[in-house]
Amino acid sequence: MSQLDYALIGNCQISALIDKRGNHVWCCMPRFDSPSIFASLLGGEQAGFWSCLPETNDFETKQVYFRNTNIVRTEFHIKNGDQFDIIDFCPRFFNCEKYFKPTQIVRIIRPVKGNPRIRMVLSPKFDYGKTQPEVTMAGDGCVFHCGDRKLFFRTDIPISYLLKTTDFELSSEKYCILSYGEPFDRQLKFTCDEYLERTFSYWKTWVKHCTIPFEYQEAVIRSALALKLHIFEDTGAIIAATTTSIPESPKGNRTWDYRYCWLRDSYFVIGVLNQIGHFEEMERFIQFLHNVSANHQNMELQPVYGIGGETKLEERELAWLAGFKGIGPVRVGNMAHSHSQYDVFGEMVLAKTQLFFDARLDGVDLQRAFENVVKLVERAISVFELPDSGIWEFRSDMKHYLFSKLMCWTAVDRGLKIAERLGKAASFERWEKIREQIRTAIEKDGWNNELGFYTQALRGTNADAANLLMVAVNFHQPEDERYRTLVEQYEKLLTRNGYVFRYRNRDDFGLPVHAFVACSFWMIDALASIGRKEEARTMFEKIIRNTNHVGLLSEDIDPDTGELWGNFPQAYSHVGVINSAFKISKSWEEAF
């Protein structure tokens, strides 16, 4: 079940969400974190949209991706028997020794049966729906402009029909291109057909280069394609989600802007990119992370950065937007950039570890990279005894969160392994003692013997799903009794109807209402690791059944109804799909 019935298109420069009726409801240009040109998702039609509908309301639609692509087809079946399709995509293909990824959306409207009468409305708004642009006629199209911002629209539909929202008969294919910043000045039909063919070929080829498990292939391929569309190719940064401010639950307040790059996700994203065999994307993301840390000589890292490496992501509310389904507030920017979250040092060392163990990564000076690792490890050591906001970014509750301590341990552990790899272990013997001291502190003050699990904060009582990652970073082995007990207790405390909450204790905004999709995959991985593979498969298959109509997932899920909530699509949820599928699938060798 899903209320987030949207399909995602994009080209690693821009992206857009299209609802089941073929309406463009969310799009930001000229990059993911720019102000929107369509924001009806958050503010109704007055905030900007692009529709193309039959003249009658008596119709049904079916929406699908062309197999193994990010190209969307919306089929319209009208009660009188007429049919037409809309094909939407953002061009992407290799051209002149580089990837062609213009700030353009292509829309092709094809009659399938009869001569349906349709009506197209193109109504962009700048500044998240606040600014009505001026419109100027321009040959076979028009220009929407405000100051130096310009949207150019080209079409072979009579422009008067568009501007006056007049019905017209669809007797042949019609073509539209919406471009930001620069006009489209090539032959329309020929170029749209060429773009479609080459973009189709690009995505098909990209998927063929994916490594996939024997089982759950469709889910893994769709997740890989969705993850790809969250990569900002210019820098290699990967955003958490396409949207801002889709609430985590109907209660509101938990509405955040996820169009930025979180360091906490980096290690797992890198692992998945490596797992599916897309080295180029992995390399560029590692380079982005390396540049971020290299720009902080004092290692005062933020939890989150802009996709161009920006450090200031000032958070503000957009009062003129009512919010998704009227649930606000709508926020842009993210205050997490100013938080102290000390897990980031471990996650950055984890991400950089690949540089020293993967022979394909030869574009970085390893000596300078190691100097950077040393600074990260020393910083992790220095903050270990300090409270922070934790992985879940508690805004007013600084504590000694166990996961942050765990990642400090991870930074030291991987730093030692890297030093050994480089033949420098003798120079860092001091780290070995510190690593054991940190482990002792975590095991002594993090483990609650009466409750039988590691707690959210040292000497605490609350459960926290992040602690399931202890095996993923090799702090514990799956056969360790403490880890097995932790998994069993967390099943009871954090799981409802097969979905897992981050935690169940009160935070800045009250008690959590919905489960967190990524945490559900962490539980699946944990169950698989301790030998409960069939139970892990059951959990996994239930989540996959609750993807939306085109196989996409958001951040949160209602454990009672399976309804999706939270920013959408969520890259980390799809990382979870891929990671868990590989863990629970039969191997190719076992299958035959």
pLDDT tens digits along 391-403? 998 877 799 999 9
Q: Band the pLDDT of 39: cuts 50, 70, 90.
A: very high
Our CA angle for 123, 100, 126, nearest 5°, is 20
Residue 49, classed as helix, strand or coil, is strand
Q: Span 136-151, mean pLDDT?
A: 92
Q: Residue type at 245? A: S
Helix (H, G, I), strand (E, B) or coil at 258: coil
pLDDT of residue 2: 64
- For position 245, what pLDDT does the model report? 98
- Token pair recorded at residue 447: 């483990």
Query: What's residue 423's pLDDT?
Result: 96
Look at 157-161, 372-376, 445-449, 551-555 and tell me which has the smallest mean pLDDT.
157-161
Does residue 97 register a pLDDT over 90? no
pLDDT tens, position by position, 236-283: 999 999 999 999 999 888 999 999 999 988 888 999 999 999 999 999
Number of helical (H) and strand (E) elements in the chain, helices listed first:
15, 30
Same fold, 6-207 and 209-591: no
**Has residue 1 got a pLDDT over 60?**
no
Residue 207 pLDDT greater than 80, yes or no: yes
CATH number of 6-207: 2.70.98.10
Predicted pLDDT at 496: 97
The predicted pLDDT at position 170 comes to 95
pLDDT at residue 204, as a whole number: 98
pLDDT interval class at 217 (50, 70, 90): very high
**Distance from C-alpha of 47 to C-alpha of 285, rounded to nearest angstrom:** 33
The count of other CB atoms within 10 Å of the CB of residue 200 is 18
Global confidence as pTM = 0.96
CA neighbours within 13 Å on the CB side: how many for 348? 35
Encode pLDDT of 461-486 as tens digits. 999 999 999 999 999 999 999 999 99
The residues, ordered by sequence, that sit 6+ positions from 15 with a Cβ below 8 Å of its Cβ are: 8, 9, 27, 28, 32, 90, 229, 230, 242
Mean pLDDT of 161-184: 92
Nearest in space to 82 (alpha carbons), one of 106, 120, 108, 109 = 109
pLDDT for 361:
87
Instruction: Sort strands 49-54 and 261-262 into parallel, antiparallel or unpaired.
Output: unpaired
The per-residue pLDDT for 164 is 78
Distances (CA, A) of 398 to 340, 390, 462: 9, 8, 15
- Tell me what pLDDT residue 304 has: 95
Backbone angles phi, psi at 274, to 5 degrees: -70, -40
Nearest alpha-carbon partner for 123 in 44, 176, 46, 228: 46
Task: Quote the pLDDT of residue 439.
Answer: 98
d(CA 290, CA 390): 22
In the chain, what are the domain boundaries? 6-207, 209-591
pLDDT higher than 90, residue 297: no
Q: For residue 10, what are the CA distances in angstroms to 102, 141, 227, 239, 505?
A: 10, 23, 11, 13, 38
| Count of residues making up the chain | 592
Instruction: Tell me phi and psi for residue 366, to 5 degrees.
Output: -65, -30
Answer whether residue 16 shows pLDDT above 60. Answer: yes
d(CA 33, CA 47): 17
**Mean pLDDT across the chain, nearest whole number?**
95
CATH dotted code for 209-591: 1.50.10.10
Q: In whole angstroms, what separates CA 118 from the centre of its chain?
A: 34
